[in-house]
Amino acid sequence: MKRLLSILLCFVSLSAFANEPAAEASKGEGFNPGEMILEHIGDSHEWHLATLGEGEHATHVSVPLPIIAYQPTKGLSMFSGGQLAHGHSHNGLKLEEDKLVAEDGSKVYDFSITKNTASLLFSAALMLIVFTAVARGYKKNHGRAPSGLQSFFEPVIIFIRDEIARKNIGPKYERYMPYLLTAFFFIWFNNLLGLMPGAANLSGNIAVTLVLALMTLVITLASSNKNYWAHIFATPGVPKPLLPIMIVVEFLGIFTKPFSLMIRLFANITAGHIVVLSFISLVFIFKSWAVAPVTLAFGLFINILELLVAILQAFIFTLLTAMYIGAP
């Protein structure tokens, strides 16, 4: 696994270089780093891999993704995203600035398998494969020492169980283990996958972190007891005259806690991507090879930092979730 990580790291540092000229070229007139960066951290209806050639003759190498749209008037429609390439329209739908709209201006609910959704599916499959393999390891090595993938993930799983769940939730921690483990590995895996060349910025997408934070909120509320609400509406140790203020503050706290979870993960991962991309953009802004060593050094440094941030954010999200669940 260590070797795997180092290989991954190599790719990560290479990736940016491979992609950037394409971004510049596709714009035709000059290089706009802001646009390039936003394009990279955003979602898309196609998986863009590379652009060969420049300007008018540029060939875009991209994988078309399925478009799934629901229109209240027409119902569900499903077709390949390739049909909408180069501003074409299909079935009354077209892409405007990579946003799916109906030609007649009616409402469209876009359930397309975008780049992020595809990445999500991939990471879900990866997690299922990895962790069922780990589970198989326990069956195979029953009563013996763990081996392979199992021995890599076991300390992490035990850490989450002992240091995060048991410490913060208490004796009833077992019920929450599946969510904590899934959330931790989902965030970690997607953070790492997001650092891969040409990959989607899934865990840095606010929709994803929104859903994760909402789940934490739902679980916190579902597991809340009398004590939890007593802490909100009659915070112990607070003088009576202060209670009206405290109730408002504590009540808002119910929502600000998951909100902070959402923003923290989204901002950390997105910011990391932006910083890496910014350093790489320097080469094209200065149009000089001289800045390449600086770019390389800083890009590499931030990339390594991002590897740390990847697991750190997964840890923080899981830890805070456990703390919210375990709060009295």
Partner 1 sequence: MPAFLNPELGLIFWQLVIFLLVLFLLGKFAWRPILLSLKEREDTIDNALRMADQAKIEMQQLKAGNEKLLADARHERDRMMQEATVMANQHRDAEKARATDEANRIITQAREAIQQEKNAALAEVKNTAAKLSVDIAERILRRELAEPAAQTQLVDSYLKDVKLN
Name the residues that contact partner 1, by CB under 8 A.
38, 41-43, 68, 109-114, 116-117, 120-121, 124, 127-128, 131-132, 134-135, 138-139, 142-143, 154, 157-158, 161, 174, 177-179, 181-182, 186, 205-208, 210-212, 215, 270
The pair of structure tokens assigned to 282 is 């320097």
CB of 255 to partner 1, least distance (A): 16
Q: Are 261 and 216 in contact (CB under 8 A)?
A: yes
The pair of structure tokens assigned to 107 is 């409402």
CB of 68 to partner 1, least distance (A): 8
Residue whose CB is less far from partner 1, 122 or 298: 122
Q: Are 187 and 156 in contact (CB under 8 A)?
A: no
Residue whose CB is less far from partner 1, 206 or 292: 206
Q: Is 72 exposed, middle or buried (0-12, 13-18, 19+ CB in 10 A)?
A: exposed
Residue whose CB is less far from partner 1, 163 or 250: 163
Residue whose CB is less far from partner 1, 154 or 250: 154
Could you tell me the sign of the dihedral formed by the alpha carbons of 186, 188, 191, 192, in that order?
negative
CB of 296 to partner 1, least distance (A): 27
Q: How is residue 66 annotated by DSSP?
A: E
Q: What are phi and psi of 46, to 5 degrees?
A: -140, 155
Residue whose CB is less far from partner 1, 34 or 53: 34
CB of 121 to partner 1, least distance (A): 7
Could you tell me the sign of the dihedral formed by the alpha carbons of 79, 115, 103, 60, in that order?
negative
Sheet of 66-71, strand order = 75-80, 66-71, 109-110
Residue whose CB is less far from partner 1, 1 or 135: 135
Q: What are phi and psi of 73, to 5 degrees?
A: -85, -35
CB of 210 to partner 1, least distance (A): 5
The pair of structure tokens assigned to 304 is 């390594």
CB of 180 to partner 1, least distance (A): 9
